[in-house]
């Protein structure tokens, strides 16, 4: 039973992480394919809704990760002890969340933090994939 719960919690972390990543994907689509999308009015309206929802809730997806990451960590730690790939992904994840929080709070912050936030998103994706592939 605890094994299933640990797995479920890991999957929730993964889904919230993917929802946070969508922020980039929807903006990318909007930047590069808006004209094509606009040819289909209903499709474009739906896409706009999804984009607004994704962008508006970006920080909440990221912040909610903390809760499920801690729970996943607690359960897996209990069952299996420390997991190196998971621990690396978790540390990068916490840096990413901290940086995102900084980005929303700090004044006169410039764009450097956002470049770092994008770069860390790539590193985080690699580390999460490593965790999923090698356990």
**Residue 14: is it exposed, middle or buried by C-beta count within 10 angstroms (0-12/13-18/19+)?**
middle
Cβ atoms of 116 and 71 within 8 Å: the answer is: no
Question: Which distant-in-sequence residues (6+ apart) come within 8 Å of 9 by Cβ?
Answer: 68, 71, 72, 75
- Applying CB under 6 A, the residues found at the interface with ligand HEM are 7, 10-11, 13-14, 17, 20-21, 23-24, 27, 55, 58-59, 62-63, 65, 69, 72-73, 76-77, 80, 82-83, 86-87, 89-90, 93, 96-97, 100-101, 103-104, 114, 117-118, 121, 124, 128, 131-132, 135
Is the Cβ of residue 37 or residue 116 nearer to ligand HEM in the bound state? 116
Spatial separation of the C-alpha atoms in residues 82 and 90, rounded to whole Å: 12
CB of 72 to ligand HEM, least distance (A): 5
In the block, residue with structure tokens 């490593």:
130
> Could you tell me the smallest distance in angstroms from the CB atom of residue 42 to ligand HEM?
26
- C-beta of 13 vs 47, nearer to ligand HEM: 13
Q: State the minimum distance, in angstroms, from the CB of residue 71 to ligand HEM.
A: 10
């Amino acid at each position: 039973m605890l094994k299933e719960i640990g797995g479920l919690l890991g999957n929730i972390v993964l889904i919230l992480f993917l929802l946070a990543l969508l922020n980039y994907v929807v903006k990318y689509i909007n930047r590069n394919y808006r004209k094509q999308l606009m040819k289909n009015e209903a499709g474009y309206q739906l896409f706009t809704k999804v984009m607004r929802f994704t962008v508006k809730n970006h920080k909440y997806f990221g912040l909610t990760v903390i809760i499920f990451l801690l729970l996943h960590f607690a359960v897996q730690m209990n069952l299996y002890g420390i997991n190196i790939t998971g621990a690396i992904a978790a540390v990068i994840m916490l840096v990413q969340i901290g940086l995102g929080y900084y980005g929303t709070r700090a004044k006169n912050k410039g764009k450097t933090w956002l470049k770092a936030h994008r770069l860390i998103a790539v590193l985080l994706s690699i580390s999460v994939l490593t965790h999923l592939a090698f356990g």
